[in-house]
Structure 1
Amino acid sequence: METEADEKRLNAVERTGLAFLQRSCQRDDSQVRPWRDEDRARIRRLQARAIVLCGLAGAVSAALIGAADLWLRDALDAGREPSLLSPGRDAAYWAWFGGIALLASLLELLAMYWLLLRSVAGIADAAGLSFSQADAEDALTTGLSRAALDIPNPRRSLHGIDPYVRASRLKLLVYTVLYRIKVGATSFIVRILARRVLARGGLRMLLPFAAVPVFAGWNALIAWWVIREARVRAAGPLAVSEAVAALERARLDDDGKRLALDAVAELVVAAEDAHPNYDLLLARLRKALGLETRIPEWSAVRDQLAHADASTQHAVLGLMVTTTALRGRGCRRQRRLLEDAHAACGQTFDSDAMRTARQRIAEGRCDAGG
């Protein structure tokens, strides 16, 4: 694979995840091919298993913490609900409760990591990918490791393009903060709501267990998110290969090639995301077209697209749809660019075509370029 080396950017957790994947998938070389029906069936089983078991891990963790709450109140003869506003009076309770909750949460996290890493390794194997040592520095394999660990993509340049060059620093900071507190904030809010409902219903004994469905549901959602992202990344090599092959079949002239690469660069910047599939796409396009990437002015790209011949327009628009779909999830700025590009060609952007492209990529099917 021709993506940029990424190994030096990995922290200890990411390196551990990558080592786990390498041990789990021993194929010598990647085999980029359409997924077979049995591959998709295997991936669906892995997805369902991960969602159920991760949800169960959350429920068990919350139940243990709730049981510890009841046990400590009885053992320490608290008789009332300990207050955070007067920790000195309830110091023994909070010390024991905090330690038990921390241990249960740590075990829950380790269980989820193990389950998700195993599931992602199975998906990669079904997709024909390799985690051999020769590919250890490849951004796609490290990207799958990050997906399994639910770690955001690093903020880095991709082949001379900075996806975050136009992103607001405040927006990036807010996104990072929200990403870090998402579990805690959600659990806290639901616990408060449950407390009010149960207290009014005279079911105070259930208060310590109010977080059980929250933790179970949230873990299941995280597992679904991780597996969905892993599927998109595992299918990336096939989708990119077909998109580049379709562009080569279009036999674009020099201006058309530059237009295609500039359109992709603009979509990558609009996404504000150093997604590993974008790394792979840019690498393949640079090699196939013999051009270097740059960040263009969209108005110039739009004008050139508007004056291009019909075959060039068709090829570039198809590549733009695939580029957007390669990220696996929507982005308003990318959608606006697609709508503007289609309008420049006298066409109307088809949302159904985008959904079909995303679905086709996530299922490892052929003709991802449309």
Structure 2
Amino acid sequence: MAEARPDREYAPQPSVFERWAARYLQRHNRHQAIPRRARDDQQLDAIRRTLHRSVAWSMLAGILSGGAIGAMEWYMREGLLDGMQGMSLREQLPYWTGFFVVAGVISAVEIAFLYWNALRGVGTISRQAGAPLHASPKARLVLLGLTRVALEFPSPRHRIYGIDPYAQMSRWKLSVMAVMYRMKVGVSSFLLRVLLRRVLGRVALRGLLPLVMGPLYAAWNAIITWRILNKAREQALGPFAIEAQMESLERDPLSERARQVVLHSFGALIMANQDIHPNHVYLLLRLFETFGIQEHSIEVDWPQQRFALSRLERQEKHRVLDLLITATVIVGRCRSKRKRFLEELFEACDMAYPAEKIRRWRRQFMNGQRIGQRGSHSTSAQAYA
């Protein structure tokens, strides 16, 4: 496959909602180039304030909507229907109809606010992190990734530069994941309200519904908003960390054999992760460009390249492992399938798994610093000893 634009490789046909959200984010962030310096303390504090402010607004929305739904529940039950004592299910039907209509309207307004609040927070964080959203296909890739995060859209379900991230995942799991993504903000919020109403409606707390439901909804909204903005921070900081790694590769190139190991190992990591992250798309394209590879496609042959990794010279082996650690920490905490894959890499090299180093690199990345900035190649080798 010939060279393809990263934005079209990641999301060939953005939806109407994605295009609208992209325009909104671009109005909030005019950056066209990746920052050349690490984020300073003032910029990091600004990012944290944005995250905390957005979470606080989402909690306020939860308190208001939860209180309104709880108060409406109590008033309809106790004020209008005198506790609904002795009423048959048929006689309760008007009450249930009214409850679901009012709860649905309140929830819809709240959910719309949550999406707007998240989108505004994502736009502000991307600006504070220095993420480019204009003037290049790479910036367009970052933009599309941020819009999907803000809208809580799942990752695209297709091959990326010849790699199928879902090759090791069954179809039924893909279907379940798609349903769960669509329920995450909208349907799940509404169902939570109905469930809590039913549970609390059967206990002695019935008269305290307005007081109890508000804090519960606030906590739910806080969790969702924090996860969205944390992912946005991760994506917004990705280009800087990746470009810093590419500068090192350009100054001190790898051998052809090590390059092939990097690409195939990276492809295997994406497949092990069972998801496609915009930072991975960006990094893969930059590896192609840095290595001077014209055909932007990989047919992953991990068993053979695993053996080739173990046969590399010690210095290159460390550098390959560093690149793959970087590829891991820029998409999330190192755990589950990503952790198992890294453990397999170090086992192939007969080295101990450097858990503390990986945690430190993850912190550096999320703080907008150069990953591994304290160590040179020699100190890197000592870290694996």
Match of 2:352 in 1: 348
CA RMSD of aligned residues (A): 2.7
- Aligned residue in 2 for 1:4: 7
1:79 equivalent to 2:86? Answer no
Aligned to 1:123: 125
Question: Aligned partners of 1:233 and 1:219: how far apart in 2?
Answer: 21
1:17 aligns with 2:21: yes
Question: Aligned runs of 1:124-273 on 2, under 5 Å?
Answer: 124-132=126-134, 138-182=140-184, 183-184=188-189, 194-195=200-201, 199=203, 202-207=204-209, 210-273=212-275
- 2:362 aligned partner: 358
Matches of 2:298 and 2:136, distance apart in 1: 29
Distance 1:132 1:286 in 2: 22
CA distance in 1, matches of 2:147, 2:165: 21
User: Structure 1-normalised TM-score?
Assistant: 0.89
8 A contact 2:310–2:348 mirrored in 1: yes
1:32 and 1:221, CA in 2 relative to 1: closer, same or farther beyond 3 A? Answer: farther
Counterpart contact for 2:165–2:276, Cα < 8 Å: yes
Structure 2 unmatched runs, 5+: 376-385
Distance in 2 between the 1:315 and 1:28 partners? 30
Q: Deviations over 1:232-286 (max 9, x none)?
A: 1001101111222333344222111111111111111111111100110111011
* Inter-partner Cα distance in structure 1 for 2:342 and 2:313: 18
Contact kept in structure 1, 2:59 and 2:219, CA below 8 Å: yes
| Structure 1 residue 129 displacement after superposition | 2.3
- % of aligned pairs identical? 31
- Counterpart secondary structure, 1:9: coil
CA-CA distance at 1:81 after TM superposition: 7.0
Give the residue type in structure 2 aligned to 1:259: V
Tell me the distance in 2 between the aligned counterparts of 1:65 and 1:46.
28
> For residues 246 and 362 of structure 2, what CA distance do their matches in structure 1 show?
17
Contact 1:163–1:272 (8 Å) recurs in 2:
yes
* Counterpart among 276, 279, 288 of residue 277 in structure 1: 279
- Aligned residue number for residue 315 of structure 1: 319
Q: Select between 135-144 and 355-364 the one with higher mean Cα deviation.
A: 135-144
In the alignment, which residue of structure 1 is the partner of 2:72? Answer: 68
Change beyond 3 A, Cα 1:107–1:159: same
Deviation at 1:8, TM superposition (A): 4.6
The alignment status of 1:26 with 2:30, answered yes or no, reads yes
| Alpha-carbon shift at residue 166 of structure 1 (Å) | 1.9
- 1:96 offset after TM fit, Å? 2.4
- Give the superposition deviation at 1:53: 1.1
Mark the CA change 1:353 to 1:187 in structure 2 (over 3 Å): closer, same or farther.
Answer: farther
Separation in structure 2 between the aligned mates of residue 178 and residue 146 of structure 1, nearest angstrom: 15
Distance 1:318 1:7 in 2: 29
User: Which secondary structure state, in structure 2, belongs to the residue aligned with residue 132 of structure 1?
Assistant: coil
Q: Which residue of 2 aligns with 1:105?
A: 107
| Separation in structure 1 between the aligned mates of residue 77 and residue 18 of structure 2, nearest angstrom | 40
- Work out whether residues 278 and 323 of structure 1, in 8 Å CA contact, stay in contact via their aligned partners in 2: yes
TM-score by length of 2: 0.86
Partner of 2:341: 337
The structure-2 alpha-carbon separation of the partners of 1:179 and 1:214, relative to structure 1 and needing over 3 Å to count, comes to farther
Aligned length: 364
Moved more, 309-318 or 137-146: 137-146
Cα distance between partner residues in 1 of 2:85 and 2:51: 40
